[in-house]
Amino acid sequence: VPAAGAHSLYNSSMGNPTVVRGGIDRSGSDGSYTYSTRSNMADKPVNYVSIWDAFRYCNWLHNGQPAGAIGPSTTEDGAYDLTDSAAIAANTVVREAGALYWLPDDDEWVKAAYYDPSKAGGYWKYPTSSDVAPTIATAGGVGQITNSGSNVANYNSGAVWNGVTGNLTTVGSAGPGSTSFIGAADMGGNVDELTETIVGPTLRYIRGGSWLFPVAAGLSIQVRTPSNVDVDERSSLGFRIAKAVAP
């Protein structure tokens, strides 16, 4: 359950000492909290987040990463208008024109993960530039992938470190042989990734599979899964940001 506070941006599982897959500690009291990354987690994907957390992060980037009180000029508007509580409740919030940073929609995510102009048919089956199921990643004591190389992904709980079977791994540590054509790392495995594509009243698509997903098929181009935006904050779910490129 997300902790109390403005918009529940912090989920207590991020820093729970008995939950070793979260990456952010919080200390202090309401109004004067401080935050720090947990040991060996600074280079791992953020998790225990919701679509609204992701949209607010996009707004914060869009607005120039300002400090100060939460509001339209910091986290509540810019890339996504979150000032209308009815739109949030109805799950109808969409990207604003002129957004500088945003959550990819399903089509954008698929192209970044699977598209290769030199490939017959244009798309790989897996986001490791392969039509063959990726090798399951293994990990060392700080979460670095130890069998890096061609066509490796963190899924099926293969990354055993920090006292648990199955965990996040260091971003990009599978190496350049396991990226998509454009060089995007970990689009298969590590964490499922939220997209902004609306599926229903409480649902948005997620893509990519996670460290927990038991079979390689979950990382493939054919699979997209509806995620409940109201309750789905977990250790195997995160997000990826897209950025506008100057012409």
Q: How far apart are CA 70 and CA 27, in angstroms?
A: 19
d(CA 30, CA 65): 21
pLDDT at 106 over 90: yes
Rg (CA), the chain: 18
Per-residue confidence band for 4, with pLDDT thresholds at 50, 70 and 90: very low
Is there a contact between 157 and 223 (Cβ–Cβ < 8 Å)? no
Of 137, 246, 242, 191, which is closest to residue 22 (Cα–Cα)?
A: 191
Q: Which of 165, 171, 204, 166 is nearest to 188 (CA)?
A: 171
Work out the burial of residue 29: count CB atoms within 10 Å of its CB; fewer than 13 is exposed, 13-18 middle, 19 or more buried: exposed
Q: Average per-residue pLDDT in the chain?
A: 94
**Pairing assessment for the beta strands 101-102 and 135-136 based on DSSP bridges:** unpaired
CA 157 – CA 221 distance, rounded (Å): 21
Predicted pLDDT at 6: 62
Q: Phi and psi of 14, rounded to 5°? A: -60, -35
For residue range 210-236, what is the model confidence (pLDDT) as tens digits?
Answer: 999 999 999 999 999 999 988 889 999
- What is the rounded distance in angstroms from the CA atom of residue 184 to the CA atom of residue 89? 33
CB neighbourhood size of 215 (10 A): 12
Residues 6+ apart with CB under 8 A from 64: none
Contact of 159 with 134, CB cutoff 8 Å: no
pLDDT tens digit sequence for 12-44:
999 998 889 999 999 998 878 899 999 999 999
Question: What region, left, alpha or beta, does residue 56 occupy, with left being phi > 0 and alpha being psi -120 to 50 degrees?
Answer: alpha
For a pLDDT cut of 70, what percent of the chain falls above it?
98
Pairing of strands 192-200, 237-239: parallel
